[in-house]
Every structure is written in structure tokens, then in C-alpha cells.
Amino acid sequence: MSEIYQSRGELTRNDIITAAYELFIKYGYHGTSMRAIASQANIALGGIYNHFASKEEIFVAVLDSYHPYHEILPILKSAAGETIEAFVRDAAESMINVLKRRPDFFNLMFIEFVEFNHTHLSKLFEKFLPDIVQLSENLAERRGNLRPIPLPLVIRAFIGLIFSYHLSENTFQGDMPLEFKENSQQYLVDIFLHGIIKD
């Protein structure tokens, strides 16, 4: 009863989630021991089990806490721009900015793919779906003409764009020559909008 809004228990729970997140993205799921999580969270190993029944339960909590959909969806929904082009550029810009603040998010996804066969992500995807559909309708309402491509495919291509940007910008940064990186965001969005061919 004061300015403290989290109970002692909630604070410890959050400490565990934060600790686990930091270790998972560095060493992977199986590469991180419960002892390491405990020590990083400044509690005893046994103490973890007052908050989580198992290691996997911790991973699910980490995925939920650190998945950027919390931030991405509202931003994408409020993407501005009267024309399709402006709308897409704004949306891409926002998404890239969010992911810049969560450069390790993709590592979480990869762990999901490899070590859990994306069981948990599939559940998240179902939660997402209505928002994704709404977003694509927003896009279709902008001024300008879309080529006759089903909206779901437009979204898939957009996700591919973000992925491609991220992979080379973060994962392979340092590995690739400068020509691969200059103004890359602008160009990748440009290809998405107008393609590589001059009509």
C-alpha cells in the first residue's frame, strides 16, 4: 500500500523473466541453466519454483513479455499517410524503429523455431490474426492503386522486407561490405512499393 505497485512476489517474478531473457538470447534455451537464471536474478535456484513450475514455463513468460507485438500493433494501427506509399513508408519506419530497440527479439524467435518447433508462436499468431487483417484493410483504404495482389500476400512480403532488413542489418552487420548497407531501409521499401523493374 504505497507507491509500490508490484508486490514482492511480482518483483521477483519479473527479475526471473528479465534474467532468463538475457541468458536465452545469449546462449539459447538449452544453453541456459536454471542455476544461471537464478544467479542472474539474485535468488536461490529453489526460489524460482515458487514462481514457475518448469523451465519451459519461464520461456513462455519471456516470449510473452518480450515479444514486440505489444508495441508493434498499436504503432502499425496508427500509421499515418494519406497515400499507400506514405502509409507503407511510415509503417516500415515504425516497425524498424521498434525492432531497433529490441535487436535480440529475433533470437527469441529462432529459439522458438529450433527448440520448441514454434509451438508457442503458433498460439501468438492466432491472437494476432484479427489485427493483421485490420491492418491490411487500413492499407487498402489509402489513396492510390494497389496492383491486384491478395492482401495476405502483401503482408507476407512486408514481413519479408522487415526480416531481410533486420537479418543483414543486425545479424550480419560487420560481415558484409558497405554497398550492401547504404540507405538499405529506403531501397528495400522502394522495391516493395515499386519493384526492381522499370515499367
Residues near a second copy (CB under 8 A): 27-31, 84-85, 88, 106-107, 110-111, 113-115, 118, 121-122, 125-126, 129, 144-147, 149-150, 152-157, 159-161, 163-165, 167-168, 171-172, 175-177, 179-180, 182-184, 187-188, 190-199
**Cα distances (Å, whole numbers) of residue 75 to 43, 66, 82, 180:** 36, 16, 16, 28
Residues whose CB falls within 8 Å of the CB of residue 180, separated by 6 or more in sequence, listed in order: 168
Minimum gap (Å) between residue 17 Cβ and DNA: 12
Three-state DSSP state, 5: coil
Distance between terminal CA atoms of the chain?
67
Q: Could you tell me if 93 and 116 are in contact, meaning their C-beta atoms sit under 8 angstroms apart?
A: no
Beta carbon nearer to a second copy, 45 or 146: 146
What 8-state DSSP symbol labels residue 112? H
Q: Could you tell me if 37 and 58 are in contact, meaning their C-beta atoms sit under 8 angstroms apart?
A: yes
Minimum gap (Å) between residue 62 Cβ and a second copy: 14
Beta carbon nearer to a second copy, 64 or 85: 85
Binding-site partner at residue 160 among DNA, a second copy, none, CB < 5 to 8 Å by type: a second copy
Binding-site partner at residue 179 among a second copy, DNA, none, CB < 5 to 8 Å by type: a second copy
Binding site for DNA (CB under 7 A): 7-13, 30, 32-36, 38, 42-51, 53-56
Beta carbon nearer to a second copy, 44 or 191: 191
Minimum gap (Å) between residue 23 Cβ and DNA: 10
Q: Could you tell me if 23 and 37 are in contact, meaning their C-beta atoms sit under 8 angstroms apart?
A: yes
Q: How far is CA 192 from the centre of its chain?
A: 20
Binding-site partner at residue 153 among DNA, a second copy, none, CB < 5 to 8 Å by type: a second copy
Beta carbon nearer to DNA, 47 or 195: 47
Beta carbon nearer to a second copy, 3 or 179: 179
Beta carbon nearer to DNA, 53 or 157: 53
Buried b / exposed e over 117-142, threshold 16 CB at 10 Å, is eeebbeeeeeebeeebeebbeebeeb
- Quote the CA–CA distance of 44 and 34 in Å, as a whole number: 10
